[in-house]
Structure 1
Amino acid sequence: MRQKLISTVAAEILAREARRVAIDGVDGAGKTHFADELAAELTGRGVPVIRASVDGFHQPRVFRHRRGPDSPEGFFRYSFDYPRLIGLLLDPLGPRGTGRFVRAVYDVHNEKPVDHVPERAEPGAILVLDGIFAHRIELAGHWDYSVWLEVPFAVSIPRGAARGSGDPDPDAASNRRYVEGQRLYLAECDPRTKATTVIDNTDLENPRRLR
């Protein structure tokens, strides 16, 4: 069932001649795996794919934590460098873009900038980008096709913890920054209504299309 859904989404992207595709959802929703599977499906259909992540456009820690390391609002408002994401990746791959793009500018795991030598997109290439907050006001108008992966915190937080990231309890103090920051995003930006399609990804083996 999962592969059938991935195949359906790929077919819709190609039918729309979409060039910039976003996979959005809360932390632990399964964005990276979904994007990787979608990219593989498109590649298998003979389409060149550019895989990227919002994570490659993190702000340095000193900026991300300007409201404190535990601030939900700081997490939502200051995690990413949206002007550079738009200017270096989304606009160059847009309808009037140069095709010369940068995939990432910052390594958040090592807290240091990365060398970002511009790449040249192949003709007909499709950007498949995963990441949180992809339907913020700054970004929503840049997608030709987008997916919102619907997963409750009761599932997403333990799923993320199982990968070695944090406490599995959604109500744990250490998760407040992320859970409440995501709730701010849901309230302000309503990604469920902005996305092209909404998929319940709670059961990884059997995702269900909601819209």
Structure 2
Amino acid sequence: MTELGDLATRLAALPPSLGPVRLVAVDGHAGSGKTTFADRLAAELGDAPVVHLDDLATHEEPFGWAGRLHDQVLAPLARGEDGAYEVYDWTLRRFGEVRAVPAAPVVLVEGVGAGRRAVRPVLAQLLWMDLDAASANARGLLRDGPELAAFWQGWIRAERAHFAADPSRPHADLAVDGITGRIVRCTHGEHPSPS
């Protein structure tokens, strides 16, 4: 079995953390490989649903999505019901299409801040993409091109402020190398109490 396949097996065997669901967060700096890793892991889990936090963030509130995530996704899943959230259109600057989130055995939430204080109590596992902020942000800027350079500068400031106030990395159960995708660190034990 591959390392990713082994991780998928272990995640699926965890006790449910939110109603019938094992909620797994993939967090890390912008550009660290969260989306790619989450999509690969979802495939190993038999096409597990993935909630992309970029779909819940907005230009005005890059980290103001906790209420939307709770109301549209977490609360329904806790009741054993499917969730559904409105997707933010970054071009039109408004919420548009609605995306379903089935109450599957494992649901992934990926994005910067996925392991934030407000979400940690309902996580079965928190994965941290281990790539330093400067390298991750440079990769993201290269990916998105010079036309988004001003947006990236604002984003980097917002991300830095978010992680200073509400760090995820110290609470991670596993770290994943942001370049190779290999699991590089594992800590065991209970999730710390929210602080």
TM normalised by structure 2 equals 0.78
Q: Residues 69-89 of structure 1: CA distance to partner in whole angstroms, max 9, x if unpaired?
A: xxxxxx5xxx33211211110
Cα root mean square deviation, aligned: 2.8
Distance 1:196 1:106, change over 3 A: same
Are 1:87 and 2:71 an aligned pair? yes
1:133 aligns with 2:113: yes
Match of 1:143 among 123, 142, 164: 123
Q: 1:174 to 1:106 in 2, by over 3 A?
A: closer
Are the aligned partners of 2:12 and 2:106 in contact in 1 as well (CA < 8 Å)?
Answer: no
Within 5 Å, which residues of 2 pair with 1:13-162?
A: 13-18=11-16, 19-43=22-46, 49-59=48-58, 61=59, 63-64=60-61, 75=62, 79-94=63-78, 97-116=79-98, 119=100, 121=102, 124-162=104-142
Q: C-alpha distance in 1, partners of 2:74/2:55?
A: 13
Offset at residue 51 of structure 1 (A): 1.9
Letter in 1 for 2:23: R
Residue pair 1:135, 1:189 contacting (<8 A) in 2 also: no
**Residue of structure 2 aligned with 1:185, choices 162, 180, 184:** 162
Partner of 1:68: none
Relative to structure 1, is the Cα distance of residues 166 and 151 closer, same or farther in structure 2, using a 3 angstrom cutoff? farther
Aligned equivalents of 1:36 and 1:152: distance in 2? Answer: 21
Q: CA deviation at 1:5?
A: 3.0
Structure with the higher strand share, 1 or 2:
2
* Residue 14 to residue 162, structure 1, CA distance change in 2 (3 Å): same
One-letter identity of the residue aligned with 1:53: H
In 2, Cα distance between equivalents of 1:200 and 1:178 = 22
Q: 1:9 aligns with which of 7, 10, 13?
A: 7
Contact 1:167 1:175 in 2 (8 A): no
User: 1:131 offset after TM fit, Å?
Assistant: 0.7
Query: CA 1:120–1:147 in 2, change beyond 3 Å: closer, same or farther?
Result: closer
8 Å Cα contact 1:54/1:80 also seen in 2 = no
Q: In structure 1, the residue corresponding to 2:128 is in which secondary structure?
A: strand
SS of residue paired to 2:92: coil
> What are the ranges of 5 or more consecutive residues in structure 2 without an aligned counterpart?
17-21, 187-195
Matched residue count: 181
Q: State the one-letter code of the partner of 2:90.
A: V
Q: How much identity, in percent, do the aligned residues show?
A: 24
Counterpart secondary structure, 2:141: helix
* TM-score when normalising by structure 1: 0.73
Instruction: List per-residue Cα deviations over 1:140-187 (Å, max 9, x = no partner).
Output: 22211121111113321221123124589xxx8764433333233333
Structure 1, unaligned stretches of length 5 or more? 65-74
